[in-house]
A and B are shown apart, each in its own frame.
Chain A
Amino acid sequence: MDTPKTAEFAHIGKSVIVKGELTGSEDLYVDGQVEGSIDLQGNNLTVGPNGQIRANVNAKGVIVQGKLEGNIHATERVDFRKSAIAVGDVITQRVAIEEGAYFKGKVDIGKPEATRPDFKVASGVAVGGGSPIAGVGSRTPVTDTKKV
Chain B
Amino acid sequence: MASVAHSFMKIFRGSSAGPGQIPSPAQTTKRLSRRSSGLSELAKSFASEEPLCVLDLGSTSAANIRYLTERGHKLYSEDLLVASTDPALAIKDDAGNPVLDSKRFLTDNLAYGPGQFDVVLCWNLADYLDESLVKPVVGRLWSLLKPGGMLLAFFHTHEAGPDAPCYRYHIVGGDSLEMQHVDPRREMRKGPTGVAHTAIGTGVRLQRVFNNRHIENLFRDFSSIKFFLARDHIREVLVVR
Contacts and interface: CB of A to CB of B under 8 A. Distances in A.
A107 B15 contact: no
Nearest to B78: A104
Given A52-B12, A105-B76, A107-B75, A82 B63 contact: no
Contacts of A117: 69-70
A60 interface: no
Interface stretch (A4-12, A38-46, A94-102, A140-148): A94-102
A69 B70 contact: no
A103 B4 contact: no
Given A54-B11, A85-B11, A102-B192, A66 B60 contact: no
A102 B1 contact: no
Contacts of B190: 85, 102
Given A69-B7, A83-B19, A101-B60, A107 B69 contact: yes
Main secondary structure of the interface of A (DSSP, over half): strand
B72 interface: yes
B1 to A, nearest CB: 7
Interface size class of B (residues with CB under 8 A): 35 or more
B202 interface: no
B65 A85 contact: no
Nearest to A103: B60
Interface in A108-136: 108-109, 111, 117, 119, 121-122, 127-128
B8 interface: yes
B95 interface: no
A73 interface: no
B28 A107 contact: no
B220 interface: no
A127 B66 contact: yes
Interface string B204-218: 000000000000000
A40 B11 CA distance: 24
Given A67-B194, A69-B192, A95-B69, 11 more contacts: A50-B19, A52-B12, A67-B15, A85-B194, A102-B191, A104-B79, A107-B65, A117-B69, A121-B63, A122-B28, A127-B66
27 contacts: A50-B18, A50-B19, A52-B11, A69-B4, A69-B7, A69-B192, A83-B19, A83-B22, A85-B11, A85-B192, A88-B1, A95-B62, A95-B65, A95-B69, A97-B62, A99-B28, A102-B79, A102-B190, A104-B77, A104-B78, A106-B75, A106-B77, A107-B76, A108-B69, A121-B62, A121-B66, A122-B62
